Amino acid sequence: MKDLNFFESYIEKKEFHLDGKWFYYSIVILLIVTVIFYSILNQIKIRKISKDIVKLKSIVEDDSINKKVEEIKEKEKESNKYKEHLDKIRSIDKNVKENSVIDDYLLESITSKIPEDVFFTSISIYTDNIEIVGISKDKWSIANLGKGLESNEEFKEIFISSITKEDQYYNFIININLKEVSLSGEDENIE
């Protein structure tokens, strides 16, 4: 005869069995749900990017914006040309300063040769000559000025172009041709 134990159901350990089919089915379902969720998320991103593309395309195709872009490009080209011209001008200016014949020394050498009775009314300085207009009490002072200016090495030729008497004074014009200077800074005498 068999004993009945009413507490046996409480004493025995229940074993939990997983069936292999259920395990595989749950993994497949989880993968399918993940793929569907990822696809939906990508579709949302694609729609958002598509809307952004449409907005950007409308901006790019806008005629007023394209005109402004063209204007900006033209102004940039002009600006680059101006920068090139400015660089050339700076280079020429630097070269002129380095090779300048007319400087403070030259003007001081002219003013140091002025006799007492001679006064300058104007001095015009050009790249290859100087024109001095002045007044004097006598012709000899003008001749002494011309002779004094001939001692300057920078002058190629001194020519008193006119002497006219007006009241007590003599008006005169002296033209001074300068020696030419090459770009290298060496003097060139052209005959």
pLDDT at 164 over 50: yes
Gap between the Cα atoms of 93 and 85, Å rounded = 12
Could you tell me the pTM of the whole model? 0.44
Gap between the Cα atoms of 5 and 126, Å rounded: 135
The predicted pLDDT at position 102 comes to 61
| Secondary structure (3-state) at 178 | strand
pLDDT in tens, 18-65: 667 888 888 999 999 999 999 999 999 999 999 999 998 888 888 888
Class of CATH domain 101-188: alpha beta
Confidence check: pLDDT of 7 > 70: no
The pLDDT value given to residue 77: 94
Half-sphere exposure for 91 (CA within 13 Å, toward CB): 7
Rounded CA gap, 162 and 179, in Å? 22
- At 101, the amino acid letter reads V
Q: Where are the domains of the chain?
A: 101-188
Please spell the DSSP secondary structure of 116-177, one letter per residue: TTEEEEEEEE-SSEEEEEEEESSHHHHHHHHHHHTT-TTEEEEEEEEEEEETTEEEEEEEEE
Q: pLDDT for 99-137, tens place per residue?
A: 665 667 777 888 888 888 899 999 888 878 889 999 999
**CA pair distance 134, 163, nearest whole angstrom:** 10
Residue 8's pLDDT band (cuts 50, 70, 90): low
C-alpha torsion sign, points 161, 145, 178, 151: positive
Which strands, in side-by-side order, build the sheet including 169-178? 118-125, 129-136, 169-178, 155-166
pLDDT at 37: 96
Three-state secondary-structure class, residue 179: coil
